[in-house]
Amino acid sequence: MKVKLSRGDLLFNAVNITLCGIIFIIVVYPLVYVLSASFSSPLSVLQGRMVLWPIDPRINAYIDVFKHKDIMTGYKNSLVLVVFGTTTNFILTFIGAYTLSRKDLFGRTFLTMVFAFTMFFSGGMIPTYLVVRNLKLINSMWALILPGAISMYNMVVMRTFFQNSIPDSLVESAEVDGASQLYIIFHIILPLSNAIIAVICLFYGVAHWNQYFQALLYINSRAKYPLQLFLREILLLSQLNDVVDTAGWVDALLQSEAIKYALIIVASVPVMVAYPFIQRHFVRGVMLGALKG
């Protein structure tokens, strides 16, 4: 049965569609622009002639990026960091969030305040470095994982999800039937938490993938550099060539501009490829895990 919309409904839908279209363009255009710029003539980009589609297409920038053999080493190290780091983050965050979501936990409010304190105050860079050094984690991947093993924000989002989306009666009935806590976690809580798991893993995974400053502080072996440090190195070398190569400084400057855009694409592609597969869970998890009251 076809429902006839009133004039007000039609106007409301038209405004919504217009606003969504404008937001879509604002979000998508920079991505398309960077991708097109990485394949375009650097001169056309600097002159502003490239607006949307590549002009004088070429792949020179990508050739210059991937001719550095360390790129694949960086990809491997970043993937290892993302896998182990996200797994560690999720396990610890889940333990904290599920525990704080239990109404029968004694001192739950006080413990939440203790955790929340870390959102506003920290020891600072130098004390943190001294702690990492004394734990003998320097030049180890664990130096990039353990100091930030739990994000209080992510823990609060997950705790709120458990409180609002999983009925207490469901857990209580399982306990009455004699189910252990481990059974409840693995057979009830986790299967019902796919959405929030996707959200938390994406947050942690993207943070690890973009790991840069901590790696600069704690990692001193090139064999253990994550991708972001190698990309930074390539960018700095291209800018240094602008100064050193005085004979062809114009060409070097143009090529360094193209390399900047290519580096953005190289660093962003894995995240952009992974996101569509978890988009459905991500949107639902963000809505269900949003703070309420």
Number of other residues whose CB lies within 10 A of the CB of residue 126 = 8
pLDDT in tens, 183-202: 888 888 888 888 888 888 88
pLDDT at 252: 60
Low-confidence ranges of the chain (pLDDT < 70): 1-3, 5, 237-255, 278-293
pLDDT at 91: 93
How far is Cα 113 from Cα 227, in angstroms, rounded to an integer?
36
Structure tokens at 136: 């003998």
Q: How many CA atoms lie within 13 A of 23 on its CB side?
A: 6
Alpha helices, DSSP H, located in the chain: 7-39, 42-46, 60-66, 70-101, 108-120, 125-134, 152-165, 168-176, 181-184, 194-209, 213-218, 227-244, 249-288
pLDDT at 255: 66
pLDDT at 88: 93
How far is Cα 43 from Cα 201, in angstroms, rounded to an integer?
40
- 204's CB contacts (< 8 A; 6+ apart) are 85, 86, 89, 90, 93, 151, 154
pLDDT in tens, 42-93: 777 777 777 778 888 778 778 777 777 778 888 888 889 999 999 999 999 9
| Residue 271 phi, psi dihedral angles, 5° rounding | -70, -40
How far is Cα 55 from Cα 48, in angstroms, rounded to an integer?
11
Using alpha carbons, list the distances in angstroms from residue 107 to 94, 112, 113, 114, 140. 19, 9, 10, 11, 36
Say whether 58 sits in a helix, a strand or coil: coil
pLDDT at 291: 47
Q: Which amino acid is at 286?
A: V
Predicted model pTM: 0.77
